[in-house]
Structure 1
Amino acid sequence: MSGFTARIRRTRPAATFAMAARARALRAAGHDVISLSIGEPDLPTPDHVIAAAHAAACAGETRYPPIAGTEACRAAVARKFTHDLNRPVAPNQVLITNGGKQAIFNAVMALIEPGNTVLIPAPCWAGYIQVVEFAGGTPVFLPCSASSGFRLDPARLEAAITPASRLLLLNYPNNPSGAVADPAMLEAIAGVLRRHPHVHVIADDIYEHLIFEGAYHTIAGIAPDLADRIVTLSGVSKSYAMTGWRLGFCTGPADWLAAMGLVQGTATAGVSTISQAAAVAALDGPQDLLIERRAIYRHRRDLVLAGLAAAPHLTFTRPDGAFYAFPSIAGLLGRTSPAGRRLATDDDVADALLDEALVATVPGSAFAMPGHIRLSTAASDDALTRACARIAQFCGAVK
């Protein structure tokens, strides 16, 4: 079939899902593949969350929901944002979305049109690139060096802003690098934004509870005077292991939020009432599990760093949050894999690791940072230990 729109022609499938699909195919063919390609917790959804969803279904909470979310869910999210931003957030200042990804899609589609540029610190989640290009905008990448811990240099941001700049996308803790924002960096970024009032901000804080060193900070809390230009979003997918429940949420200026609601009403309407009941239980219920699970992910990060410390040709910047490792594989480039494959790019390295070592990773080029690979550490200790051993053996056999 031909004749599809330009937005479809410029939309590319995510490399993370492509690698996961290849891993599944190899596994189905009988190979012992360890997949570290998808950022999905292997831990279970908490029992009390599942119980709340079941109770809601049994109570008949199965009708069409309001587009912006149920009263109970918006109230729970408003309480959360009131705490995080250190200012009152009312339920009518909240939008519930089908996962954090829809919050991003809604925000970008409401704001960006052809001719607009979107400033994206790199490395960045591949989904940002997809949605910006789908909306007709142009991504402008702001490279963040490993020596800086992959944190955005405010001077680089200042230099990149033009009259066409419409939006800055911030993601801390960062996927894929694990970089965490501190107040000094966020205040410096805010200082740049004060000089450029035409630039808006999306703060994607989906990994907010997965910080191993330091504390969670977000730009709307650091710079409340910029609140009328900032959409802050999060969700229950990562922290509460609820990826399949598809529930995200956001807050921001009333006009932008209303426009996002129009996008959502056009595309999907409201979020599952059962998922919203589950989210209320997650947000209002016991929070000790967040501390426990953060400790698990910290342990797994340390396990991976230790397991690959002696791997030839790999160099690491320690991730301080999220559940990824993002090593540089520059030392492998220009060499030959154990099976004789020429390793010219990070795509070559990721392909060779999957085909020869049976470990699925994602090339850094998918995250606008070639010369790296991303490994998800949201897997069991056994899987991570075996994967690291295979990667180290692969690197040691490269010629």
Structure 2
Amino acid sequence: MQAEGIDVINFGAGEPDFDTPQHIKDAAARSLQSGFTKYTPTSGTPDLKKAICEKLARENGLEYKPNEVIVSLGAKHSIYNAVLATVDAGEEVIIPAPYWVSYPEIVGLADGKSVYIETDESTGFTVPIDRLRAAVTPKTRMLILNSPSNPTGGIYDRKQIEQIAELAVEKGFYVLSDEIYEKIIYDGNEHVSIASLGDDIKKLTITINGFSKAFSMTGWRLGYAAAEKDIVGAMEAIQSHSASNLVSFTQPAAVAALNGPQEVVDNMVAEFDKRRKYIVGRLNSIDGITCAMPGGAFYVFPNVGKLYGKNFDGKKITTSDEFADFLLAEAKVAVVAGSGFGADNYVRLSYATSMANIEKGLDRIAEAVGKLA
């Protein structure tokens, strides 16, 4: 529609609407102009791996050596490598739902079996430890932990993380901890890296992070993983035969991101916080929609299930896909159906767009929902 000149308000974006900070772009430009355009080591340059180790120690309380770190073409690539390196055919991977859409697809590529635990607003979209324990079987190989979460913005607190760590050590399963949204948190919430809670859980943890969200570098495709040396070695072997290495001249830019000024991140999060509070308030003012306040990331995940069964122009809305189609056709507003996240009573809206767009889009949603009968 947008290509046809139609004014569509897009709440679907999974990337910050801010530009990559200038000092990061400058580092890439210098690298490119200096001729740093050849192959690099498969797992990343020594300088970048050193910077990642220093970051993990400084910010997360994690001590890793460079041979325990691998840099990949985005955090998704890191997750793909990690799952393929650790999960065998038929083994189970526990995935709390709602979940990021790629988790089950990646598990399927490894011939693993996804085991879902549904969550909702009553627990802040986090899994109570008793339900997690009940889902563990002798075939459980891994838990995928995403805090803060895409799509819900839910955050596990320190006590919950400690309980998960104790269970993982007791039962001996891996924890893939996707921490890509760690810097985008609100209301004094604390980000806890599960691997920091002791040597036993560190041995079972694959920590995933990257540059896309915190530094607004989605197109740069830079992510990394930290884990035991044998796991990283297996991931490196997979990466070597699938991608060779990541782009050479982006790696000095990643070093600049980690070691440079962090105020740009703080400023972005402060702006997101204003939008977060506004969009939640507006959504909750619309009859039939309820929206929990997310603790992190830049998404809201409103419950629209009370609108199911209502009609517009003779068409009944019964699913999140139908509701999303209705908003696009009637309101010219794009949202993401919850079905892809394993939660069909919900839709996802990203507030990584301007406040003007948010205001206009919510006006349109309110007007459109008011037409349902």
Shorter-chain TM-score above 0.5: yes
**In 2, Cα distance between equivalents of 1:88 and 1:210:** 23
Could you say if the C-alpha distance between residues 87 and 234 of structure 1 is closer, same or farther in structure 2, counting changes exceeding 3 Å? Answer: closer
Aligned equivalent of 1:106 = 81
Aligned residues: CA RMSD:
1.1
1:278 shift after superposition: 0.9
Summarize deviations over 1:100-133 as a string: whole Å, max 9, x none.
Answer: 0000000011112321111001111001011111
Alpha-carbon separation, structure 2, partners of 1:279 and 1:389: 39
Which residue of the other structure, out of 302, 325, 330, is the alignment partner of 1:351?
325
Alignment of 1:253-332 (within 5 A): 253-332=228-307
* SS of match in other structure, 1:327: coil
SS of the residue corresponding to residue 16 of structure 2 reads coil
CA shift for structure 1 position 31: 1.5
2:99 paired residue among 124, 139, 142: 124
Q: Return 48-57 or 299-308, whichever deviates more.
A: 299-308
Name the structure 1 match of 2:71.
96
Residues 223 and 329 of structure 1, relative CA distance in 2, 3 Å threshold: farther
Identity of aligned residues (%): 37
When residues 343 and 90 of structure 1 are mapped into structure 2, their CA distance, relative to the original with a 3 A threshold, is: same
Q: What CA distance in whole angstroms lies between the structure 1 residues aligned with 2:137 and 2:315?
A: 43
Question: How many residue pairs end up in the alignment?
Answer: 372
Deviations 1:72-113 (A, max 9, x none): 111111111112342422222210010000000000111123
Q: Distance in 2 between matches of 1:266 and 1:126?
A: 25
Match among 335, 345, 355 for residue 371 of structure 1: 345
Instruction: Give the match for residue 394 of structure 1.
Output: 368
Q: In structure 1, what is the Cα distance between the partners aligned to 2:62 and 2:247? A: 29
Offset, 1:36: 1.1
Contact 2:300 2:348 (8 Å CA) reproduced: yes
Moved more, 87-96 or 205-214: 87-96
Q: Aligned pair 1:139/2:114, yes or no?
A: yes
Equivalent in 223, 233, 240 of residue 215 of structure 2 = 240
Candidates 197, 200, 203, aligned match of 1:228: 203
Give the Å deviation of 1:30: 2.6
Distance in 2 (alpha carbons) for counterparts of 1:145 and 1:325: 13
Q: Does 1:173 align with 2:185?
A: no
Q: 2:34 & 2:255 partners in 1: Cα distance?
A: 15
The whole-number CA distance in structure 1 between the counterparts of 2:97 and 2:198 is: 23
Q: TM-score, normalised by structure 2?
A: 0.97
Correspondence for 1:204: 178
Q: Give the Cα separation in 1 of the matches to 2:119 and 2:274.
A: 26
348, 355, 369: which is aligned to 1:381?
355
Equivalent position of 1:216 in the other structure? 191
Q: Structure 2: which 5+ residue stretches go unaligned?
A: none
Matching residue's letter, 1:344: T
Question: Does the 8 Å contact 1:187/1:223 carry over to 2?
Answer: no
C-alpha separation in 2, matches of 1:102 and 1:365: 23
Instruction: Indicate if the aligned counterparts of 1:341 and 1:352 stay in contact, CA closer than 8 A.
Output: no
Task: Decide whether aligned partners of structure 1 residues 332 and 223 sit closer, same or farther in structure 2, where only a CA change above 3 A counts.
Answer: farther
Give CA-to-partner distance per residue, 1:159-214, whole Å, 9 cap, x none: 001111111000000000001121101011112112201x1110000000000021
Mapped partners of 1:211, 1:181: distance in 2: 12
- Cα distance in structure 2, aligned partners of 1:141 and 1:299: 33
Superposed CA deviations along residues 265-313 of structure 1, whole A, max 9, x for unmatched, are 1111111111111111110000111111110111111121122231111
Q: Are positions 1:361 and 2:335 aligned together?
A: yes
Partner residue of 2:54 out of 72, 79, 101: 79
- Give, in whole Å, the separation in 1 of the partners of 2:56 and 2:317: 46
Alignment correspondent of 2:12: 37
Where does structure 1 differ by over 4 angstroms across 4 or more consecutive aligned residues? none
For residues 121-160 of structure 1, what are the alpha-carbon distances to aligned partners after superposition, in whole Å with 9 as ceiling and x for unaligned?
1111001011111221111111122111111211111000
CA distance in 1, matches of 2:11, 2:198: 36
| 8 A Cα contact 1:169 1:203, kept in partner | yes
Q: TM-score, normalization: structure 1?
A: 0.91
Q: Give the residue type in structure 2 aligned to 1:209.
A: K
Determine if contact 1:350/1:360 at 8 Å carries over to the other structure: yes
Equivalent position SS for 1:77: helix
Q: Give the Cα–Cα distance (whole angstroms) in 2 for the partners of residues 232 and 83 of structure 1.
A: 15
Q: C-alpha separation between the residues in 2 aligned to 1:335 and 1:54? A: 54
Give the conservation status (yes or no) of the 8 Å contact 2:57–2:63. Answer: yes
Matched, 1:151 2:126: yes
Q: Name the structure 2 match of 1:64.
A: 39
> Structure 2: how far apart are the matches of 1:37 and 1:336?
24
Aligned residue identity for 2:253? A
Measured against aligned partners, the alpha-carbon deviations of 1:18-49 in whole angstroms (never above 9, x if no partner) come to xxxxxxxx112232111111211110000000
Q: Distance in 2 between matches of 1:221 and 1:353?
A: 44
Q: Name the SS of the counterpart of 2:363 in structure 1.
A: helix
Unaligned runs of 5+ in 1: 1-25
